[in-house]
Amino acid sequence: MDKTLLEALVRRAGLQKALAEFPDDVAAAAAQAETISEKLNAPADPRAEPWPPMKAGEGL
């Protein structure tokens, strides 16, 4: 992941302390997410709903 993007995401996530103390771990975490994200396929149908569906009036 590009360093500028990484630092921006770290700031947004509030992980500045982690980046200062454990830079290798932050980099590894970002790399994991990037790898998984590349492997994810969007559904072929753009109208496909996510799971679980919202169901008003049930449960709580």
Least separation in angstroms between CB 56 and another protein:
14
Q: How far is CA 1 from CA 19, 31, 37, in A?
A: 14, 7, 12
**17 part of the interface to another protein, by CB under 8 A:** yes
End-to-end CA distance of the chain: 41
If one asks whether residue 11 binds another protein (CB under 8 A), the answer comes out as: no
Nearer to another protein, 3 or 17 (CB): 17
Which is nearer to another protein, 52 or 57 (by Cβ)?
52
